[in-house]
Structure 1
Amino acid sequence: MSDAPVLNWDLPAPFTLDITVQAEDTDRLGHANNVVYIRWLEEVSWAHIESLGMTWALHEETGKAMAITHTDVDYLMSANAGDQLVLGTWLTDWDGRFRSARQFQLIRRADGKTLLRGMSTHACVDMKSQRPARAPKAFVDILSGALVPGGRGLPR
């Protein structure tokens, strides 16, 4: 029987990424730097969409990509070198054309404490012009099938 705490996720069935905080991830205060947290959010986002079939090859084939338009992060507790973390993410909104939203939750395995909650919004862009563009059918199908109800969704 394990003494590890239960991970209490905000939403069901997150896509997760295991993280070990490295010494180089820390700042002068001795805890993980906010820039590193943002890097982790990007890493889990890419891993998640690639696991769904929205690979970089598909982006290149369609000439479209989902670009981050806003990121909101609440740093609730610090992480220190050596901490074992698990970062969960969910696709929580998709308008079926241009915009999507994703939520994040970062938990420390040792005590089950949530260290971070965040959300990012995304817009489909043409990769050449960098201008907003309607999402291709492949994106629509993938994102529509991956939505998790109950999230914060897109700002209205």
Structure 2
Amino acid sequence: MSDSLPWKFADPHVEHWQIQQPHIDHYNHVNNVAYLSQLERLAWAHSQALGLHFDHYRELDRGMVIRRHELDYLLPAHLGDELLCATWIIHCDNKLTLRRAFQFMCARRRVPVFEAETQFICISLSTGAPKRMPPLFRQIYGEACLQSSAHAD
């Protein structure tokens, strides 16, 4: 079903999100904090599907942390809606940063309700200081990137 939707980019990593009461705010829409939580879950699910797990982060003393979010709330989502949540790595400099795009579609209405871009920066987990991506990050995230410049050193 997700293949026939009007995705922003080809070949998304897609997870399903069933909207339940704890996701709803006082306007009877999905709360902005719920969207942020879903972004985090989706990014981790995609990284794990690519073969990178938090154990790798710990072993390498590196992590990709959020530097900036850009969030666009396009249409409200409501209790009971099923959202198809997609992500792509759209830029990876193979040094310090990568960017993910996100698009959440309402399965019933077949329209996007939310879009976002997040910039991540590679840090040392032990110090919190920016550090170059280790070879495993460059290989996995770089190869998953939509832009061909991701493979440049």
Equivalent residue number for residue 121 of structure 1: 119
SS for the counterpart of 1:111 is: coil
Q: CA deviation at 1:148?
A: 1.4
Q: CA deviation at 1:144?
A: 1.0
Q: Which whole-Å deviations, capped at 9, do the CAs of 1:105-136 have from their partners, x for residues lacking one?
A: 00000010100111000000000100000111
Counterpart-to-counterpart distance in 2, 1:84 and 1:123: 31
Q: CA deviation at 1:149?
A: 3.4
Q: Which whole-Å deviations, capped at 9, do the CAs of 1:8-41 have from their partners, x for residues lacking one?
A: 1000000011010001110000010000001001
Aligned pairs for 1:44-123 (under 5 A) are 44-123=42-121
Tell me, yes or no, if structure 1 residue 138 matches structure 2 residue 136. yes
TM-score by length of 2: 0.93
Equivalent residue number for residue 23 of structure 1: 21
Counterpart-to-counterpart distance in 2, 1:48 and 1:112: 22
Residues matched between the structures, number: 148
SS for the counterpart of 2:67 is: strand
Computed over aligned residues only, the root mean square deviation of the Cα atoms, in angstroms, reads 1.7
Give the helix-richer structure, 1 or 2: 2
Counterpart-to-counterpart distance in 1, 2:122 and 2:22: 34
- Structure 1 gaps of 5+ residues are none
Counterpart-to-counterpart distance in 1, 2:142 and 2:17: 28
Percent of counterpart pairs with the same letter?
27
Counterpart-to-counterpart distance in 2, 1:18 and 1:53: 20
Output the amino acid matched with 2:59.
Answer: E
Output the amino acid matched with 1:106.
Answer: F
Output the amino acid matched with 1:61.
Answer: E
Output the amino acid matched with 1:21.
Answer: I
TM-score by length of 1: 0.91
Counterpart-to-counterpart distance in 1, 2:48 and 2:57: 10
Output the amino acid matched with 2:67.
Answer: T
Equivalent residue number for residue 11 of structure 1: 9
